[in-house]
Amino acid sequence: MSRQASRASESKKMNSELFTLTYGALVTQLCKDYENDEEVNKQLDKMYVEIFSYFLLKTRMNVLTKNVIFNHRGYNIGVRLIEDFLARSSVGRCHDFRETADVIAKVAFKMYLGITPSVTNWSPAGDEFSLILESNPLVDFVELPDNHSGLVYSNLLCGVLRGALEMVQMAVDVKFAQDTLRGDNVTEIRMKFIKRIEENLPAGEE
Amino acid sequence: MADNIFFEFLHMEMVDYVYKMDVSREEHEQVKMNAISTLENMGFRVGQGLIERFTKDTPSFKDDLDVMKFLCKDFWVNVFRKQIDNLRTNHQGTYVLQDSKFSLLTQFSNRKQYLLEAPRYLAYTCGMVRGALSNLGVDSIVTAEVSLMPACKFQVVIQRS
């Protein structure tokens, strides 16, 4: 029965591996799709543009597009995930951005990714902070090939955070400031509070 | 294990992305590709990876039935957090795995609504099963059918060379 016991304890890990691998498959597919386009475009435009500069430009654009797409996909997830989060945790409304930061790092990240990033680098105005991720489960088996050095692999997370916070009336700018995949020492997500989104309640409600 | 919902949302986005991509492909007439097979291939690779992790400490399997049992119990529990409810076989290489509450469908409906959309949410799992079997040395064709959500049947036909 020892197998049974070890299984239970590893179960959570396995489950996040499913997520990690699935995410990897999605990124791979995206890269494949856009490389095909690139190939087609290159053939078409060969005659007009000097290949080298065109290729450089094209690569950068495509990487940007990919980053935008991840962000957008993540946004869709975040918009839905926040409901699950509010239902499952007993977190109420946050009164300031510091409290938000705490909830994100200590409750939300713990719940969905099993890690607790640290909150640091507050701006003097208190409207900007960094999440430092010591480990990022999304990149467990990942190595970025050289030709994708501009790819923000985990950009989905930014979208998730942005989408989720937007649903609780906070417009926030989220981006990766550092990424271990790209040779930095830590993974850092920078979050900047933009504004509180006004609620438009129908007349007659509280 | 709350992180499973993260997987479910990611899966939805993935299906959506692949389908939209497929539509734009059709427009370009350059690459014809079927969204179902794209999803299936993505699942295949993931199934291969997962089975390597899951079978790390298990003794080797006696026969195909043993493999299928592992798939219905351990694999399914790890991926979908429940066992397959019913496993049937004709002892000639065809297995039917029945899940009466398939987790990727539970959010949609508990009747016949959205039945037409169901196949696209099963393709990834079919690929995953095929990938897992393939890494255990079993070539197979995996299909899925739904007659009433969220119940779902996966049919595995083992290919003998």
> pLDDT tens for residues A150-179?
667 777 788 888 888 888 888 898 888 998
Q: Are A21 and B79 in contact (CB under 8 A)?
A: no
Among residues of chain A, what percentage have pLDDT more than 70?
A: 63
Q: Which amino acid is at A3?
A: R
Q: Pick from A50-64, B17-31, B124-138 the range whose average pLDDT is largest.
A: B124-138
N residues, chain A: 206
Whether residue A191 is predicted with pLDDT greater than 90 in this model: the reply is: yes
Task: Specify the 3-state DSSP secondary structure of B62.
Answer: coil
Residue B86's DSSP bridge partners are B98
* Predicted local distance difference test score (pLDDT) of residue A113: 85
Helix H or strand E encompassing A69: helix A51-88
User: Which of B10, B42, B74 is closest, CB to CB, to A19?
Assistant: B10
How far CA B47 is from CA of B75, B105, B128, in Å, comes to 10, 19, 4
Residue B83: predicted pLDDT: 93
Asked whether the ipTM of the predicted complex exceeds the cut of 0.85, the reply is: no
Mean pLDDT score across all residues of chain A: 72
CA distance A23 to chain B (A): 8
Give the residue among B104, B83, B80 at the shortest CA–CA distance from B10: B104
Over residues A121-128, mean pLDDT: 93
Beta carbons of A23 and B10 less than 8 Å apart:
yes
Residue in A18, A73, A84 nearest the CB of B17: A73
Least confident of A4-13, A107-116, A139-148, A181-190: A4-13
Q: What is the pLDDT of residues A101-119, one digit of tens each?
A: 999 999 998 888 888 999 9
Query: Which chain B positions have a beta carbon within 8 Å of A76's beta carbon?
Result: 9, 13, 16
Q: What is the mean pLDDT of residues A40-48?
A: 28
Query: How far is it, in rounded angstroms, from Cα B15 to Cα B9?
Result: 10
pTM: 0.75
The reported pLDDT for the residue numbered A183 is 84
pLDDT at residue B80 tops 60: yes
- C-alpha A117: how far from its chain's center? 14
Please compute the mean of the pLDDT values over residues A9-34 and round it to a whole number: 67
